[in-house]
Structure 1
């Protein structure tokens, strides 16, 4: 029972363990960053300091990008775009099973409105500071060493794109071209000038300006692509798209803007809440903010927040319809935290299940004895943190099943000692590519890319790709060891907590790691994409491994006695259980994604700007669907609901198609089947002469049998 703020206080504040080396350099330069490490690596604004700094940043509902004179407007300022559903582009390639489009994507590079200044030109430099888990401030300068010309505070969900001027001469440009520009004869609010910008594509944009000194904003139309102020401007310019009914809402909320979000939360039994307290700035701080909420927010708002929802709606790129909420804080409620999920199989209607029939137990015990003959040290000796973590987790779940379900303590204890030895190799940092704490960005990374110069080594771990996947497996393994031997925890706690801090640090008081590197509390899921520029924004390919990392954090918090950590893990799982059916896992009743796309059943790779029913490693249905299944753990039925799993099975694997799957994906698909047909799954895994090649390298036959027998 934790009614106090579960996000208050750090996990730890000391340096990573002495076994972890340190270095000050990183392959990716910190372009224009005016902030000290730790720096966020996986957040929405990273394109502003990666590559050529011109790739879009997705705010939902808007996107922004530094035009760099490369767009149709010829601007050196900040371009603003919003895409409606009718602009969405579907790929001509279709899903061979369902006939649905393989992907949809939103156009990029459309400069509806650009906020710039006469002082910006070919020497313009883009810098950034105030980089938090929810926000960034992007600064356009006349030169790298020059003074700030325009500052853009960016917060996800902002109703306005806001620009702060300190004496520069504003240019309001467009790559779409103006049809008409009108200045309202009446101020929107005292001290706020209002313009309506009608574009040739039929859209209407509103511009609000309040001056802090000097003259009000007075725009002159130079041509159909440029409106220019008559002189220097001190104050704030805000731009918003009007979907047709937003005029009055924008009028009463202009003049202030969000600068950051303070996250707080509590857990009381099965009820969890989390609150976004928006920090704001502007002309009159008694003015209430307008912010856009995504579908999973809308369905979880408490009564007070729900009452502040408006009827103003804008399309987002991949998250359905966003609705404007006029409130300085939002509170979301999750009424069913998975507090009862432990280490053994679990069902929503039955809870944890550790008892199976004696007949099944005898059969499975024979399998377990054979699996325990495998060489744990050899299988976990990998050049990849990802594959090493999967192997450790495989033996952890096997040993846990032997102890907690089969009841063979002696066999479990023998395996546990070997698992501890395997884990110790990593705790001592003696694996093939040791980890290092690098202080340029602030995090623990593989030395693989340092050693071979290949950015894609270990899926880009050195570049902060997939850390929650990789380290989640290690955290889960540690939780199992601690569950079976609590005396092991003390000596290994700092090492395991290092992984949690790297991916899920809750507090800015921890000066070694950024806050919540992986999980995006606005989007309701994590982003796997690290320090590599991408035109379609951050992405994630495995929703199930995302949920695995939350489950691992929950269980490590449980065994290590960190109740706040456990509560945060429970809350993340509850949010994922709400958001995944909207954004990743589609039943026929999904009303968030395009109706002609939900037949794919899973997203594939979810980007901020597109969804591609594919993987980075293969095009087969079992690969695309399966990467959203593994690993199968007790929380799986909580995240992957029975109706979804059955629909997915019938779409891709029923009528004998699963029997044609080659390799370990067959085992993954059948293990997933246990959610709605445990007898069918058990029959497959107990088949005489079961082929071990049907098991993925991170899978245990003993566990699959225990899981399906228990279910």
Structure 2
């Protein structure tokens, strides 16, 4: 097992290292600082894994097939030590950097623990702790050469290695050695708008010490007071997520505010929950568009060879039907559209689409047959290879949430099929023998990984952070629709955690100090790998692609993940002063829908224009919903409680009606009027 750790000054920026912002940042690979091995391992070595969980795996190195492991490495997210468990083998310690010195401590940090300090030729210091299960069997090394040290005898026990950055690190490691993490379990609670989740680490070893584990920045931000008190000053640079902080605790609890008031309608984190009431003019404008869009051939647009594009189209029409029914009051029109939408959805629920789904047993999941049928591994973005499942299936789950909410009688025949998609991307239970726990969302990293089974040099990755948030939003809505309070709570919690992580690692405001200063001016990560950040996309390098893939789909959850400060800074950097109007195709619509978060009037004017071109709509977007989204954003700030009395006084002054006649629709009448009419008398607006 090769062990390395890179500091920030070892990162490579490119393509021109002097350019700011840099397109990419990558950590060097192949630096073998230390290698833990055994004399018994050679050309016939066999690598196996066992006890795979959402947070951990055991890696075994055996001298030959069928032999007992010479070394087992328990790998756990956040582990403070790299631990190798030896079963009678002879330890080897190697390095590709070369030893400058290996010094055995004269005093053991704990009974039965032998300690070595290793200084490498790159000037970095590492600590090695050997805990023997044999009484009085200390581990001694003979330095063979500057790249190899060999134990003087075989060894039963475990070796732990940690990097010493200085300060109090050595004392912390000394106190924590002799025990190692074996796995973690996740639990969570929700109480109204407050939620928490706890990572509890299982441990083993020869001492009763408390675990030393490393937390990421988004963990630290949300730590409960008790967990925060266990954080230390020891920090190590991560590859793409800032500085990790050592926490001396066997469990961590993180606390989040849950977006419980968020539903299908336009929403804002800063506004009180109130029903939206559009003005008559607003309704008429949106309805004139919706009448055309809801009449489009839904089956033709959804019966595609791609689960991704089919799901986007179903979600688009679901959004239109919802808008007409709930926001515009067009019940009859919505019912006609809902009938067509259910018919289009039925093709998939009956598994009669062009490439039906199958349950794949090797990895435990529901996959498209596209790659099996075509022989192309990249068919439908690699769905058959487990790529992007939360993107693909999230759209279906969102669409089903709306259908079921508008027609609960639809649920009995369709709920099990939708739940299967939920289980594929977000199964919460180890008791489910058909799906792994939380396939896509990483509860340690706080976001999902889109990467499937493909080998890659820089680890897993995710491109579309916005579709990640969409999938959590869909889970929340589906839980609400079917009355599954636990699923709704998990969706709320997952969405809150995702928003926090995205704002730290994917979406960069000017005050972001977590990611490198050469990267943050890009405003978005582009593609975030485990070992690299690359400001690009898999499908092109146009700036609207790179920024826009982190915008779509524009949904109520977008206002949680994409703060007004971030949206304004990104717009000013890339799309202000008419630059958005030079963007071709559906990306222009994506940019303006996103702009509604900070300037709903400009977005409304764009989508309501008589010269609007339908080519400016992405295949998963509708003008109907974008208009409603912009109109809703223009109303939401006025639902702050302290505005109500002001609005009531304005209404009485303007229409000479009594206070007894006030209602939400008359307030909507005022809000629908030109605001300039009031600003001269009410400068607070």
Tell me the TM-score normalised to structure 2 length.
0.91
Distance in 1, Cα, partners of 2:604 & 2:610? 12
Distance in 2, Cα, partners of 1:400 & 1:202? 62
Distance in 1, Cα, partners of 2:583 & 2:165? 48
- Kept in 2, the 8 Å contact 1:302–1:333? The answer is yes
Q: Deviations over 1:62-82 (max 9, x none)?
A: xxxxxxxxxxxxxxxx10010
Alignment of 1:240-259 (within 5 A): 240-245=162-167, 246-259=169-182
Query: In the alignment, is residue 565 of structure 1 matched against residue 487 of structure 2?
Result: yes
Distance in 2, Cα, partners of 1:501 & 1:209? 42
Report the equivalent of 1:182.
103
Report the equivalent of 2:333.
411
- Kept in 2, the 8 Å contact 1:345–1:353? The answer is no
Q: Deviations over 1:87-125 (max 9, x none)?
A: 000012589xx9410000000111101000001111111
Deviation of residue 160 (structure 1)? Answer: 0.2
What SS does the corresponding residue of 2:346 show, helix, strand or coil? Answer: helix
- Kept in 1, the 8 Å contact 2:295–2:337? The answer is no
Distance in 2, Cα, partners of 1:710 & 1:276? 38
Distance in 1, Cα, partners of 2:38 & 2:629? 63
Report the equivalent of 1:4.
none
Distance in 2, Cα, partners of 1:445 & 1:263? 26
Among candidates 92, 95, 99, match of residue 171 of structure 1: 92
Alignment of 1:5-24 (within 5 A): none
Q: Deviations over 1:180-237 (max 9, x none)?
A: 0000011111110000000000000000001112632111111000110011100000
Alignment of 1:84-233 (within 5 A): 84-93=7-16, 99-213=20-134, 215-233=137-155
Report the equivalent of 1:675.
597
Query: In the alignment, is residue 481 of structure 1 matched against residue 379 of structure 2?
Result: no
What SS does the corresponding residue of 1:331 show, helix, strand or coil? Answer: strand
Among candidates 528, 536, 540, match of residue 618 of structure 1: 540
Alignment of 1:678-693 (within 5 A): 678-693=600-615
Query: In the alignment, is residue 269 of structure 1 matched against residue 218 of structure 2?
Result: no
Distance in 2, Cα, partners of 1:349 & 1:175? 54
Report the equivalent of 1:394.
316
Unpaired runs of 5+ residues, structure 2, are 634-685
Distance in 1, Cα, partners of 2:27 & 2:116? 28
Distance in 2, Cα, partners of 1:535 & 1:195? 32
Deviation of residue 360 (structure 1)? Answer: 1.1
Unpaired runs of 5+ residues, structure 1, are 1-77
Deviation of residue 676 (structure 1)? Answer: 0.2
Distance in 2, Cα, partners of 1:126 & 1:253? 29
Distance in 1, Cα, partners of 2:45 & 2:97? 23
What SS does the corresponding residue of 1:388 show, helix, strand or coil? Answer: helix
What SS does the corresponding residue of 2:454 show, helix, strand or coil? Answer: coil
**Higher helix fraction: Structure 1 or Structure 2?**
2
Alignment of 1:534-683 (within 5 A): 534-683=456-605
Distance in 2, Cα, partners of 1:114 & 1:157? 20
| Shift >4 Å, 4+ stretches | none
Q: Number of residue pairs matched?
A: 630
Distance in 2, Cα, partners of 1:451 & 1:424? 22
Distance in 1, Cα, partners of 2:88 & 2:219? 39
Alignment of 1:173-572 (within 5 A): 173-213=94-134, 215-245=137-167, 246-284=169-207, 286-334=208-256, 336-350=257-271, 351=273, 354-572=276-494
Q: Deviations over 1:168-189 (max 9, x none)?
A: 0000000100000000011111
What SS does the corresponding residue of 1:346 show, helix, strand or coil? Answer: coil
Larger RCO (CA under 8 A, 6+ residues apart): 1
Deviation of residue 486 (structure 1)? Answer: 1.1
Distance in 2, Cα, partners of 1:89 & 1:337? 38
Distance in 2, Cα, partners of 1:144 & 1:705? 63
Distance in 2, Cα, partners of 1:539 & 1:352? 38
Distance in 2, Cα, partners of 1:151 & 1:261? 18
Distance in 2, Cα, partners of 1:323 & 1:431? 48
Structure with larger Rg: 2
Distance in 2, Cα, partners of 1:94 & 1:375? 51
The alignment's C-alpha RMSD in Å is 1.1
Deviation of residue 550 (structure 1)? Answer: 0.1
- Kept in 2, the 8 Å contact 1:449–1:462? The answer is yes
